[in-house]
Amino acid sequence: MRGWRDVLKWKLTSRPQPSPRFVADVNPVKPPRCVEGDDLLVTFVNHSTILLQQNGLNILTDPVWSRRASPFTFAGPRRRRDPGVRWEDVPPIDIVLLSHNHYDHLDLTFVGRLAGRRQSEFIVPSGVASFLRSRNVDPLHELDWGQSVTLGQTTIHSVPALHFSGRGLFDRNRTLWCGYVIEAAGRGIYFAGDTGFGDHFARIRERFGPLRLALLPVGAYQPQWFMSPVHMGPEEALRAHEILNPGASIAIHHGTFQLGDDGPDTPKRRLMELGRPDSFLILNNGQSVALP
């Protein structure tokens, strides 16, 4: 992780790619209330918010609906596209996976709304439960790397990621960050959360075997000298895809916010230039894919 001097150097030398203030190209969809059977329906809501539906179970990752990924309503990274699912059209959610406490992954307003429905169980990294419990979010399952929890017929495993945590100036790395492997219907789904490239992909492949699906971050990767320890770019995501060798991968962490010097759509264009394999999918906000 880079220090404050590196942050200052980045900001003084930053050359963000120009991008539209807002792109009105999203036609929100209304997902089904549930999906029966073993087929997996995956809906890309936005950024790292993914709806996974199968066997009557609905899982939501890092739910973000706010207009800014920031502690402020007037400053910080602003939304460049609408969510692909309106909040009022979100079906009942059984399990919410939170990978870490950054504002573009833990949207407290909407996590609170999910908790208010009294339908969801929340799985969080070590140290995050007390923060959420103080905001009336419950029930919570707090996991360290290597720990698991079984809910019904589904087991959630916390796995390592190369990242960091913090929501203010003085809480850097006081809580954990992680990815998750979801074991359901006898097959695995990997949600990487936020991560740099590393040997943890090979360890995940070794432990869990062939995965059905991998959700791999591709954005906020420029400048690479600053971002590469904690964020993957398209090249690294394709390498991770090769190592994990899942049935399919879906690009996440792109298209909605500009968090690095790369524009929201730069990762998508770069993946197309690299000649991604057919098994590495790029979805737009609101787009769904059914996987056997």
The secondary structure of the chain, three-state, reads: CCCHHHHHHHHHHCCCCCCCCCCCCCCCCCCCCCCCCCCEEEEEEECCEEEEEECCEEEEECCCCCCECCCCCCCCCECCCCCCCCHHHCCCCCEEECCCCCCCCCCHHHHHHHHHHCCCEEEEECCCHHHHHCCCCCCEEEECCCCEEEECCEEEEEECCCCCCCCCCCCCCCCCCCEEEEEECCEEEEECCCCCCCCHHHHHHHHHCCCCEEEEECCCCCCHHHHCCCCCCHHHHHHHHHHHCCCEEEEECCCCCCCCCCCCCHHHHHHHHCCCCCCEECCCCCCEEEEC
Asked, for residue 16, whether it belongs to a domain, the answer is no
- In the numeric block, the tokens 């909407």 are attached to 110
The reported pLDDT for the residue numbered 7 is: 79
The reported pLDDT for the residue numbered 6 is: 83
Assess whether pLDDT exceeds 90 at residue 15: no
Asked, for residue 192, whether it belongs to a domain, the answer is yes
CATH of the domain at 228: 3.60.15.10
Asked, for residue 6, whether it belongs to a domain, the answer is no
The reported pLDDT for the residue numbered 236 is: 98
Asked, for residue 118, whether it belongs to a domain, the answer is yes
pTM, entire model: 0.96
Ranges 4-13, 114-123, 147-156: which has the least confidence = 4-13
Q: Which domain holds residue 50?
A: 28-286
**Nearest partner of 271 among 244, 223, 239, judged by Cα:** 239
The reported pLDDT for the residue numbered 12 is: 82
**Ordered strands of the 40-46 beta sheet:** 140-143, 121-125, 95-97, 57-61, 49-54, 40-46, 288-291
Asked, for residue 2, whether it belongs to a domain, the answer is no
Number of domains into which the chain is organized: 1
The reported pLDDT for the residue numbered 11 is: 81
Assess whether pLDDT exceeds 80 at residue 4: no
Q: For residue range 212-244, list pLDDT tens digits in order.
A: 999 999 999 999 999 999 999 999 999 999 999
Confidence of residue 198 (pLDDT cuts 50, 70, 90): very high
Q: For residue range 32-74, list pLDDT tens digits in order.
A: 999 999 999 999 999 999 999 999 999 999 999 999 999 998 9
Asked, for residue 11, whether it belongs to a domain, the answer is no
Asked, for residue 20, whether it belongs to a domain, the answer is no
Asked, for residue 23, whether it belongs to a domain, the answer is no
Q: For residue range 96-113, list pLDDT tens digits in order.
A: 999 999 999 999 999 999
Q: What is the residue-averaged pLDDT of the chain?
A: 96
Q: For residue range 128-151, list pLDDT tens digits in order.
A: 999 999 999 999 999 999 999 999
Assess whether pLDDT exceeds 90 at residue 247: yes
